[in-house]
A and B are shown apart, each in its own frame.
Chain A
Amino acid sequence: MPSLRLDGRRIEIHDGDTIAAAAFRAGVRTFSRSLKAHRRRGLYCGTGDCANCLVTVDGLPGERACVTAAADAMRVERETGWPSADRDVLAINDRLHRLMPVGFYYKVFARPRWLWPIAERVIRRATGTGTLPLRATAERTPTRFVRVRTLVVGGGVAGLAAAATAAADGSVLLADEGSLGATVTLPAARAAIARLTTEARAAGAEILERHAAIGIYEGPSAALLGANELVEVEAEHVVVATGALEAHGVFPGNDLPGVWLGRGAARMAAIHGVSLGDHVVVVANTDDGDDLAGAVRGTDADVTLVAGRVLEARGARQITSATVLTPDGRRAFACDALVLSLGWAPRDTLLRMTAEPEVVGAGDVVRPGCSLAEAEASGRAAARGDAAEARDADTWPIAEDDGYVCVCEDVSMHDLEQAWDEGWTSSEILKRYTTATMGPCQGALCSRHLADHARAKGATPAARGRTTARPPVRGPRLGELTGGVHEQVERRTALHDRHVAAGARIDHSGVWLRPGTYGDVDVEIRAVRERVSVMDVSSLGKFLVTGRDARALLDRVFPLDVGTLAPGRARYLLALDEAGYVMDDGLLAASGDGSFFLTSTSGGADRMEAWLRNWIDRLNLHVHVINQTAQLGAINVAGPHARDLLATLTDDDLSRGALPYPGHADITVAGVPCRAIAVGFVGELSFELHHPRGRSVELWDALVAAGAAWDLRPHGLDALDVLRLEKGHVYLTQDTMPDDHPAKLGLGWAIAKDKDEFVGKRALERMNALPLERRLVGLRFDGAPERGHPLTVEDAIIGRITSCAISRAAGGAVGLGWLRAIDGVFPNVLRAGDVVATVSPTPFYDPDGVRLRA
């Protein structure tokens, strides 16, 4: 006989058993302990809606025992109670509940302050549910995308009818969280489901069993969670047919093991053949009473069926009696099971997540308690677009003065009253203060009770609504949440493998993978300053801009003087946004044929393309832009011997006559056609070689081989940071903030004077008329500075170090930093902790730029 182990105890499994059925049949009555008071909790809803039966199955916590199929050799553990759910030391909390009123932990452990971290740890251990399998290997759930015309959630009578009807108009996907019909007890319902399933399938509807919809999003779109997959569905129409469960009864003793909601009790009795007890009382105010009583009688129990208001239930470990106010008066019953059908609570969480008219409900969820025929009709109508407005049930149980409203979070009626008296007077704030509806069931049982309470207290219409429904309906695993989401989308240059082979530490530089260093940053810096080096700058944004309005576009968009940019020349390009702030920088080069070549920072390429295309569109200009960022590789050959190195690989003229600074020329290096751009970022003679990406490796290898004669070492981002800092060059986003206009950065020289119009011009006029209150300055330090460290004048923080390094070439510790003016004057001497910082002109190295103009 197949069996599972529950907390080590062997339990027999019968055919078709859920974990809960097998355990209950074997006599297990306590499935968990409540959050605060550690009260015993047993099976209640039986339909997967409440959180009483959450167990850990084969190491995975948070499984609902009542809807999880039992399997041979399964290891099941109850998650609350210590040392066990049956004998829980913390049950003492129940006796002390007067000392733990609602919200007490906010008040009691707040002072002294040192107490809270300790209290928090203790509270966590006492109230935690389940243990995360931290040693399990992380598995990402496969995700796939589906597009359909109609998505139907729920495979009951209404859902199947909707699917069958909608299939005539286009593709249909029906998802049900279990197996179709598996939980239906009534023969008439079973027959209807079988008939409608055949009809739906024949009409071409696709049926996905064991897939739960955990959220509906704008689109409409939905996320379906299966056993090992996440399905993202884009639909034109969604029909939600998730049914209803019985209303949660609130009365003293309502959380005792032995109190059941009707449908769950019927399943246990009729489908699993498990006896609920010897003396069962069924209190039914809905039409379901006879069916429920009939199902339970099938297990040879003595069943009493009444209608009325449940006043209280009593018992210690489980229920022993119930008192009901029937039409004939108050009656007390000795019983070992109490089955409730006091009203209907539509499972409308998904429906309430969206206001889109394309998402409609059908069946019990909009017409709770409707007949099979009504459910079918409502499904067909919903599929045709004649959806019914949601209506709440006619019968709703009156809550007594006490009893647990939120069973998941142990919030009683008394707690709600007290919270209201304390001033938390709306359903939303009541939720947040008491944590009602914030447990695993997410208000499936109690969200209406919360709204009712607010209404009964006289709250305004705005303050007494149902609390907002948001995805997910039920807590998914982290692996499921991350299904289809990948942390990084990485861009690689063609030289990636070369860098790896050379032992480089590869960094994430924005979305690019780039070498930080090949081992020794100092060695790399010296190679650049004293001999020759190469750097892979293929990630730079690169654009070909042509067309009869190309010059007009560039002149109108950028603040530099494009009119005087002659062919063969290049110019430093500052890109400003409409507020006059520096967005990006790069180079603009003019070719002889009226076309232009533009570079941007690596991180700014997409934005630059969008920027250019925006202005082409808005100004209606005839311009063509080709984003060549991927198409072209770029290698910067830098150092006093850069020209000597290139001379061994090319016959082309590299003198300043042929290739001015700043300027560009088309040359061939090692047989590879290149656009060589004379640049100055690192402050040495440099040739940035733009070439076809497919020939990057060939070019790199040739340069490295020929460079051996000068002991060439490639340099990476770390070295670059220091080299450009020695020249006082700004590193966008490291030294800059999003609201820097050029004057703050000392880049006013890059703005052309006397230009009529360019993007940001008016903003600059406005800001330049104002006194400058913040500047980026060069700094020299008398000790070792720290990047990000505040700069102070007499203990007042007036700035921050944005970049710094100990520099051989600059003769000491240098950096860049922000300063605020004090009474209109910028201080010259500041402190960064123990280090004295003096404002210093930049560049720190080769201030006249002799070396890069060589």
Chain B
Amino acid sequence: MPEVRDRLVGIIVCAADPAALDRLVAPGHGARTLRVAPDETMAVVSPEFTEDLRRELGDRVAALDPDALVVDVSDGWAAVALVGDDADHAASYLSALEPPAGEGFAQGDVARVAAKILREREGLLVLVPAYWHEHLRSRATEAARAAEARG
């Protein structure tokens, strides 16, 4: 049965001109960048690097678009991981979204709320606005159980 685990993440939002975001070079610290909209990129990173990442991205984006906005929005998001070989199968009980391949992401309806799904080595990571943390966790647990029961 896939495990359901809470995860702490740092999230930086870059709101800027689409052309600037197109040219934004991916930062380090193992950050994943998600182009969630033409004018918005979200960078997801391990919490200890959040501040460094915010400064780096702030500098890089400002150079490309002086009117841009770069904000640490980590508090606004909750992350729940589905860990295990059958993470995708469990996810099929939560969402009709095709789980992303490789470094990509998917965004859409997961357990009836607005979410983003990332693939990790150990499974899948689901991000939702923080006020839905409990909701996602309980639905994910239910999904893992249903996936397990079906075998």
Which positions in A face B, CB cutoff 8 Å? 142-147, 229, 232, 234, 486, 489-494, 496, 512, 539, 544, 546-548, 622, 624-632, 692-694
Contact = CB atoms under 8 A, between A and B. Distances in A.
B134 A145 contact: no
B26 interface: no
Given A144-B93, A147-B98, A547-B69, A692 B146 contact: no
17 contacts: A142-B93, A145-B92, A145-B95, A147-B96, A486-B139, A490-B134, A491-B131, A491-B132, A492-B133, A496-B134, A539-B131, A626-B15, A627-B76, A629-B129, A630-B130, A630-B131, A693-B130
Contacts of B96: 145, 147, 232, 234
Contact of B112 (A234, A486, A626, A692): A486
B112 A631 contact: no
Given A493-B131, A622-B67, A630 B77 contact: yes
B131 A629 contact: yes
B86 interface: no
Interface string B96-125: 101000000000000111000000000000
Nearest to B70: A624
Nearest to A488: B135
B133 A624 contact: no
B71 interface: yes
B99 to A, nearest CB: 11
Contact of A693 (B15, B75, B98): B75
The 9 nearest A-B residue pairs measured at CB: A631-B76, A624-B15, A142-B146, A145-B96, A630-B129, A491-B131, A630-B76, A693-B75, A630-B130
B95 A693 contact: no
Nearest to B97: A145
A544 B134 CA distance: 25
Q: Pick the most buried of B76, B77, B98, B149: most chain A CB atoms within 10 A of its CB.
A: B76
Given A626-B71, A631-B73, A144 B134 contact: no
Contact of A546 (B39, B69, B131): B69
Contacts of B15: 546-547, 624-626
Given A546-B69, A622-B67, A628 B95 contact: no
Interface of B: 13, 15-17, 39, 67-69, 71, 73-77, 92-93, 95-96, 98, 111-113, 129-135, 139, 146-147, 149-150
A630 B149 CA distance: 34
B133 to A, nearest CB: 7
Contacts, number: 89
A681 to B, nearest CB: 21
Given A229-B150, A539-B131, 7 more contacts: A232-B96, A486-B139, A489-B112, A489-B113, A489-B135, A492-B135, A629-B129
A512 B131 CA distance: 9
Contacts of B131: 491-493, 512, 539, 629-630
A512 B135 CA distance: 12
A632 B149 CA distance: 39
A486 B129 CA distance: 19
A637 to B, nearest CB: 20
B13 A626 contact: yes
A367 to B, nearest CB: 34
A546 to B, nearest CB: 5
A766 B94 CA distance: 49
Contacts of B149: 142
A693 B77 CA distance: 10
Contacts of A486: 111-112, 139
Contact of A626 (B73, B98, B133): B73
A145 B96 CA distance: 5
Contacts of A539: 131
A631 B68 contact: no
Contacts of A489: 111-113, 132, 135
Contacts of B130: 494, 630-631, 693
A492 B132 CA distance: 7
A144 B146 CA distance: 9
Nearest to A496: B134
A632 B13 contact: no
B20 to A, nearest CB: 11
Nearest to B8: A694
A232 B94 CA distance: 11
Contacts of B69: 544, 546-547, 624, 626
Contacts of B74: 694
Contact of B135 (A234, A490, A692): A490
B93 A143 contact: yes
Contacts of B134: 490, 492, 496
Contact of A544 (B17, B71, B92, B112): B71
Given A142-B146, A143-B93, A693-B130, A631 B75 contact: yes
Contacts of A147: 96, 98
A144 B150 CA distance: 11
A692 B92 contact: no
B61 to A, nearest CB: 11
B75 A692 contact: yes
Nearest to A545: B69
Nearest to B131: A491
Contact of B67 (A142, A229, A547): A547
A548 B67 contact: yes
A850 to B, nearest CB: 37
A851 B149 CA distance: 61
A494, A624, A632 interface centre (most CB from chain B within 10 Å): A624
Contacts of A622: 17, 67
Contacts of A492: 131, 133-135
A494 B130 CA distance: 9
A590 B77 CA distance: 26
A96 B113 CA distance: 58
Nearest to B78: A630
A624 B111 CA distance: 28
- Residue among B17, B69, B129, B147 with the highest chain A CB neighbour number at 10 A: B69
A672 to B, nearest CB: 12
A234 B108 CA distance: 15
B19 to A, nearest CB: 12
A142 B150 contact: yes
B73 A628 contact: yes
Interface centre among A147, A539, A547 (most CB of B within 10 A): A547
A411 to B, nearest CB: 41
Nearest to B71: A626
A544 B15 CA distance: 11
A689 to B, nearest CB: 15
A192 B151 CA distance: 31
B111 to A, nearest CB: 8
A220 to B, nearest CB: 14
B36 to A, nearest CB: 12
A719 B97 CA distance: 43
A144 B139 CA distance: 12
A539 B130 CA distance: 11
A138 to B, nearest CB: 14
Contacts of B133: 492
A491 to B, nearest CB: 4
Contacts of B112: 486, 489
B75 to A, nearest CB: 4
A629 B132 CA distance: 12
Nearest to B13: A626
B68 A693 contact: no
Nearest to A539: B131
A548 B98 CA distance: 38
A142 B17 CA distance: 43
Nearest to A512: B131
A735 to B, nearest CB: 26
A28 to B, nearest CB: 36
